[in-house]
């Protein structure tokens, strides 16, 4: 018998999963061409050729010992190359000793939370949030504390943030570029978050970590830049992966990089290595560590995502949808055409459009469109969006 808790979670299957199942049913009924599935955040583009070529090269090299167990933090040369890449826009540079290779960002966040949380410790997250955060925090006996962002710009409400920090707060988890809003936190916002955390650390006499979950860091538009989190707060920790930037979501490769200003860096890194080992990851995939370490300048073709964003943003704005223009990632997060976002998503389904309700991200009244999809599908979907809007006008 599975545990009561897991059973309960299965009963409340995530919205993204539910829409996936709905999509399969609709495709059977109407055919692939006539279903417009915007529900999944699965990178659409293949990895750059240089990355798959590098993979062949690494495999063919037949290096003795390349497939054995290693330091739980990963290969030293790989960690150094990752640190060098992070150092490009940093004030206090990192060394290999500040980097631990992980099984994607998801693995990284779990390793990190396992390392820092005592039972009952609070982790602040900003809604709308990546739904898995709630599970990750609970996995390690933490308590999620959810703060709603301002719907005009989806930036954190700093006053509310300050008030929400308690003697139990151990971390704040920020995600920029954001899933589901595409917002990039500005230099100004990060500075203020850092100042508030510094003040609260002094007040409560303990570290509060700023965890920056950055798997979309390379996916930015119009020349926007994602600020380096380590320049804003002493106890910052980056979690990143190559799932989106290199289209390697199924390969499970990423890293954690702590701020070099940590007073207890060595102990902290030992904690991370322990958590990586005892959570059963042991170390990040060996071959993929080698491949990405020589692909750090590469990226999937972002202009392809930009074309999709521009087309959908323009068309949906013309149709009257209210939304913030995403600066990064590959999602739009418009306001639903009725207050009940779940009811709205169900109505959209009648036009064969699959969306995810904002409730799935802790932000009712909105919905998410993932545009990491076929451009032809977006074009075919536009008349269906028109019909959906007309339906609401006549309702
Ligand atoms: C905000 C956010 N964080 C983390 C992840 C997990 O990414 P990874 O594939 O690197 O584990 C995702 C995946 O969609 C995400 O959207």
Question: Residue 40 — very low, low, confident or very high, per pLDDT cuts 50/70/90?
Answer: confident
Same domain, 55 and 40: no
Ligand 1 geometric centre to CA of 243 (Å): 8
- The number of distinct structural domains making up the chain is 2
Closest residue by Cα to residue 319 from 353, 360, 361, 362:
353
Question: Residue 43 — very low, low, confident or very high, per pLDDT cuts 50/70/90?
Answer: confident
Average pLDDT over residues 204-231: 97
Ligand 1 geometric centre to CA of 259 (Å): 21
The domain of 34 spans 4-47+301-393
Last residue of a domain, one of 243, 275, 293: 293
Same domain, 70 and 90: yes
Same domain, 55 and 157: yes
Same domain, 97 and 24: no
Question: Residue 22 — very low, low, confident or very high, per pLDDT cuts 50/70/90?
Answer: confident
User: Is the CB of 106 inside a 6 Å radius of any atom of ligand 1?
Assistant: yes
Ligand 1 atom nearest 329 alpha carbon: 16
Say if residue 356's pLDDT is above 90. yes
Say if residue 179's pLDDT is above 80. yes
Question: Residue 390 — very low, low, confident or very high, per pLDDT cuts 50/70/90?
Answer: very high
Say if residue 189's pLDDT is above 90. yes
In the prediction, which pLDDT does 323 show?
97
Pocket test for ligand 1, best of 104, 106, 216 (most atoms within 8 A of CB): 106
Say if residue 24's pLDDT is above 90. no
CATH code at 37?
3.90.1150.10
Say if residue 63's pLDDT is above 90. no
Say if residue 387's pLDDT is above 90. yes
Say if residue 232's pLDDT is above 90. yes
Same domain, 279 and 315: no
Same domain, 351 and 203: no
CATH code at 134?
3.40.640.10
Cα–Cα distance measured from residue 147 to residue 156, given in angstroms and rounded to the nearest whole number = 8
Question: Residue 17 — very low, low, confident or very high, per pLDDT cuts 50/70/90?
Answer: confident
Say if residue 64's pLDDT is above 90. no
pTM for the model stands at 0.96
Question: Residue 368 — very low, low, confident or very high, per pLDDT cuts 50/70/90?
Answer: very high
Question: Residue 14 — very low, low, confident or very high, per pLDDT cuts 50/70/90?
Answer: confident
Lowest mean pLDDT segment, chosen from 94-98, 224-228, 274-278, 295-299: 295-299
Residue ID of nearest Cα to ligand 1 atom 6:
106
Same domain, 201 and 270: yes
Same domain, 56 and 193: yes
Same domain, 80 and 147: yes
Residues 6 or more apart in contact with residue 220 via CB below 8 angstroms:
177, 184, 226, 302, 327, 328
Pocket test for ligand 1, best of 127, 243, 326 (most atoms within 8 A of CB): 243
State pLDDT tens for residues 119-159: 999 999 999 999 999 999 999 999 999 999 999 999 999 99
In the prediction, which pLDDT does 16 show?
76
In the prediction, which pLDDT does 362 show?
96
User: Is the CB of 175 inside a 6 Å radius of any atom of ligand 1?
Assistant: yes
In the block, which residue shows the tokens 């009561």? Answer: 4
Average pLDDT over residues 287-308: 94
Ligand 1 geometric centre to CA of 214 (Å): 8
User: Is the CB of 213 inside a 6 Å radius of any atom of ligand 1?
Assistant: yes
In the prediction, which pLDDT does 42 show?
83
């Amino acid at each position: 018998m599975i545990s009561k808790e897991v059973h309960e979670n299965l009963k409340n299957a995530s919205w993204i999963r539910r829409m996936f199942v709905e999509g399969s049913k609709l495709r059977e009924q109407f055919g692939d061409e006539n279903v417009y599935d915007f529900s999944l955040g699965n990178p659409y583009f293949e990895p750059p050729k240089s990355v798959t070529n590098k993979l062949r090269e690494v495999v063919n090299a037949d290096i003795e010992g390349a497939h054995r167990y290693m330091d739980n933090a990963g290969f030293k040369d790989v960690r150094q190359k990752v640190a060098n890449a992070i150092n490009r826009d940093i004030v206090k540079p990192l060394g290999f000793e500040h980097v631990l290779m992980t099984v994607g960002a998801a693995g990284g966040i779990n390793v990190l939370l396992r390392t820092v949380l005592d039972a009952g410790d609070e982790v602040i997250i900003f809604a709308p949030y990546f739904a898995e955060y709630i599970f990750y925090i609970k996995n390690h006996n933490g308590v999620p504390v959810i703060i709603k962002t301002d719907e005009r710009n989806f930036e954190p409400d700093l006053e509310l943030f300050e008030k929400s920090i308690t003697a139990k707060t151990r971390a704040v988890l920020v995600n920029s570029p954001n899933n589901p809003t595409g917002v990039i936190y500005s230099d100004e916002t990060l500075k203020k978050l850092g100042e508030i955390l510094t003040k609260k650390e002094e007040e409560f006499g303990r570290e509060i970590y700023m965890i920056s979950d950055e798997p979309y860091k390379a996916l930015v538009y119009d020349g926007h830049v994602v600020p380096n989190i380590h320049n804003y707060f002493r106890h910052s920790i980056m979690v990143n992966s190559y799932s989106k930037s290199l289209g390697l979501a199924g390969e499970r490769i990423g890293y954690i990089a702590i701020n070099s200003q940590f007073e207890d860096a060595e102990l902290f890194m030992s904690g991370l290595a322990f958590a990586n080992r005892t959570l059963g990851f042991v170390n990040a995939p060996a071959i993929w560590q080698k491949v990405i370490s020589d692909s750090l300048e590469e990226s999937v073709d972002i202009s392809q995502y930009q074309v999709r964003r521009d087309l959908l943003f323009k068309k949906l704005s013309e149709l009257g949808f209210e939304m913030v223009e995403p600066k990064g990632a590959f999602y739009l997060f418009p306001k639903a055409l009725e207050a009940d976002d779940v009811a709205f998503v169900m109505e959209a389904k009648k036009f064969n459009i699959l969306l995810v309700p904002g409730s799935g991200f802790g932000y009712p009244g909105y919905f998410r469109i993932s545009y990491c999809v076929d451009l032809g599908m977006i074009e075919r979907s536009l008349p269906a969006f028109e019909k959906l809007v007309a339906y609401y006008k006549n309702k």
